[in-house]
Structure 1
Amino acid sequence: MDFSNSGSWIWKSIGKLRSLARPFIVCKVETGISCRFWTDNWTKMGPLVDLTGDSGPRLTGLPRDAVVIDAIRDGDWWISSSRSRNPTICLLKDCLPSPSVVVSQEEEDLDDCYLWKVGDAEASGVFSSAKTWHFLHPQGEKKDWCDAVWFKGRIPKHAFIAWVNARHRLNTRDRLIGWGLAVPSLCLLCNTHDESRQHLFFDCCFSAEVWSFFTGRAAVSPPVRFEDAVLWLKSPSRDKNISLILKLAFHASAYLLWKERNSRLYNSSSKPASALILEAKSILRCHLDPLSRAQKFTPPELSYLATWLGLFQP
């Protein structure tokens, strides 16, 4: 099919994926009257034309558009009687299965069918987008900090910054200087120490005021190193409500601190730490409301929102 001049944009985009989808499609031969001998994947070795090249049909005398049943003569493959030592013909003989794979055409209820095969799994008539996706994109090694970033109930834009930060990909000034850029090294929040990930989110007195508000209210003592703190966030408290709130608070604090840092750099405007705390409290208060409505708990257990109001809101 020619997708270049006809159809919608989405149809043309799907057409471009044919080469990607092709290896997943296999043909189960029954009567052999529909399955194309050269171009369909029916031997479990892929299309035969990919093995023999375009010279395969010419050397063997079987047309490129032939179907499987056309390749059978008197109950055997037409090529089985050939005595040629041509490598292509010898290869084709080794690739062909037993001709018994083709059943009698008298079985009217049977016909060749096309199935979807993912990896080593059995071919099936059911398409699974999840299995196909995971096969095309194998899951990599799980990072230690994964549960501290990608947890149920997270705020997506906050989690994204936390993910970039955990991978040490935020463009802090120490990284820019390491790339050879001529930029000032001082932290934009305190103007007293060089800016790095460790300093910006933990050692800076401005950042410490924001983060310590939440840890102080929860009566917890997190590690002072960034890497250790991220791992600690996987389970910062025995109380599941406080654990979730602290994860959300860390994400919100990092997001707002990075936003404040960029605001001072590009807009020459600044806010005090108390303003960031109020903004974080407002965001978390609004976010915990729907989470509490969907939460399943049995009294005297508290909801997320009740825990928040009891510890963090006053």
Structure 2
Amino acid sequence: MSTYLCVIVMEVLSKILAKRIENSHSFKFHWKYDKINLSHLCFADDLIMLCHGSLSSALVLKAALDEFSLLSGLHANHAKNNIFISDLSSTISHQLINLFGYTRKLFYLRPLVRPLIQYLISNGSSTFLWFDNWHLDGPLLSKWSTRVVYDSGLPIYAAVSSIVHGDSWSWPTAMSIDLLEIRSRMPTYNPNSSVDDSVRWLPSSSGTYSASFALASLRTPQPIVPWFKLVWFPKNILRMSFFLWLAIRGRLSTRDRILKYDHRAITTCVLCNSHLQSYAHLFFECLFSRAIWTQLLNIGGNPWNGLCWNAFTDWASTYWGGNSPTIVANKFCLGVAVYHIWRERNCQIFESTQKTTSVVARFIIDTIRCQLSFIN
């Protein structure tokens, strides 16, 4: 779209928005821009739309977008657009997300992460007095109401620097019991006006952020699954281990799974053309995959025990949990075999190409040999 045409199109959208807002009795502007009645910003091909965090206000914006789409044929691309929601209840948040057809992403983690971040005050200029976690009791407004802000005589968006004087704390005269309690529980250290504030990541003993500490802090601890060492072990091939992980968890799209949401789907195994394609069949009841697996086991001197997929992974989790050279070779064999059998299945479905069992087995053997030589 040319620059001039883009300007004309955005002007049409602006007129539609202005008309919809003017005719609405329920629309409220974003609290930060209600004095100037700002509803949207446009720069080049970027558009930001703003409103109060209420369903009635969002409905006005949605109606304007729908009218614009009807006139122009242009539609919002959900893959490139985002909706930002702050300090709303989960009910309202879900209503807004569903209204515009978006999916909720990582912003829901913010309330979980905030308590894990602590601000160490020096000059106090970069830390919010009422909202940030710098006080011994945490964010002040999480424990006390906004009445304490009024009693202090300080703005609600005041920085901690407003109570710092030189190298000491300097609160206004206490006008309430709440303020007296806040003052009595101040940090034991003194501020330093010549140094900027710093941030400490509480889950880490060093105070430095790390992804591992963040993950451990946010997720619910779960016991280690028995097949953990079968899939994840030193010097593993990450791509192969990832596919083995998917297979053990039942997350590969075998045709029996596709059948659950598409009753017209072809269910026959593409490798042998004789049975329903399921995990138990594909690994390794299928004549094609069993021939490959048997060749691999014969090379390693391991007879095939004929177990079904779930029983075999349980058995392997018990007996292949170590890291001896033989055990590692067996684990490589399983992961690489699952990967290449699944890849051959995809090639036959999507590329209409077909390899013999001996060719696929040779690919697997070469991959294992190459990885083992790299380890040695």
- TM-score (normalised: structure 1): 0.69
Give the Cα separation in 2 of the matches to 1:181 and 1:261.
20
Contact map agreement 2:120 2:199 (CA 8 A) in 1: yes
Which of 220, 226, 232 in structure 1 is aligned with 2:315? 232
Distance in structure 2 (CA, Å) of the matches to 1:255 and 1:209: 15
The Cα shift of 1:133 comes to 3.7
- What residue number does 1:255 align with? 339
Task: Kindly indicate whether the alpha-carbon contact (under 8 Å) linking 2:135 and 2:186 is maintained by their aligned counterparts in 1.
Answer: no
Q: % of aligned pairs identical?
A: 24
In the aligned structure 2, how far is the partner of 1:274 from the partner of 1:100? Answer: 71
- Provide the residue aligned with 2:65 in structure 1: none
Counterpart in 1 of 2:184? 97
How far is the alpha carbon of 1:290 from its aligned partner? Answer: 1.1
* Partner Cα distance (1:281, 1:59) in 2: 76
CA contact (8 A) 2:229 2:322 kept: no
Q: Conserved in 2, the CA contact under 8 Å of 1:248 and 1:284?
A: yes
Distance 2:272 2:187 in 1: 80
Where 1:233 maps in the other structure, the secondary structure is helix
> Which structure 2 segments of 5+ residues have no match?
1-42, 44-105
The 10-residue stretch of structure 1 (209-218 or 166-175) with the greater mean CA deviation from structure 2: 209-218
Deviations along 1:102-148, whole A, 9 cap, x unmatched?
A: 66x9xx899896451425x77x5544453234223455442222211
Question: Cα distance 1:159–1:192, how it changes in 2: closer, same or farther (>3 A)?
Answer: same
Q: Distance in 1 between matches of 2:124 and 2:257?
A: 63
Q: Give the one of 259, 277, 284 matched to 1:202.
A: 284
After superposition, the C-alpha distances for 1:62-119 in whole angstroms (9 at most, x for unaligned) are 45342252216xxxxx32xx4xxxxxx454444443469466x9xx899896451425
**In structure 2, do the counterparts of structure 1 residues 237 and 92 end up closer, same or farther at CA, with 3 Å as the change threshold?**
closer
Pairing 1:274–2:274 present? no
Instruction: Report the Cα distance in structure 2 between the residues aligned to 1:118 and 1:99, rounded to whole angstroms.
Output: 18
SS class of match (2:118): strand
Q: CA deviation at 1:180?
A: 3.2
The match for 1:241 is 325
Q: Deviations over 1:209-266 (max 9, x none)?
A: 1111222233334451212222332334988212111111111111111111111112
Distance 1:256 1:42, change over 3 A: closer
Which has the bigger relative contact order, CA under 8 A and spacing at least 6? 1
Aligned pairs for 1:92-241 (under 5 A) are 92-98=179-185, 101=188, 114-119=198-203, 125-221=207-303, 222=305, 224-234=307-317, 235-236=319-320, 240-241=324-325
Paired residues in the alignment total: 261
2:229, 2:321 within 8 Å by CA — same for their partners in 1?
A: no
Aligned to 1:26: 118
Give yes or no for the alignment of 1:289 onto 2:373: yes
Rounded Cα–Cα distance in structure 2 between residues aligned with 1:113 and 1:239: 48
Contiguous gaps of at least 5 residues in structure 1: 6-15, 73-77, 83-88, 293-314
Does structure 2 retain, via aligned residues, the 8 Å contact 1:186–1:194? yes
Q: Name the Cα RMSD after superposition.
A: 3.6
Cα distance between partner residues in 1 of 2:216 and 2:324: 31
Secondary structure of 2:130's match?
coil
Q: TM-score under structure 2 normalisation?
A: 0.58
SS in structure 1 of the partner of residue 259 of structure 2: helix
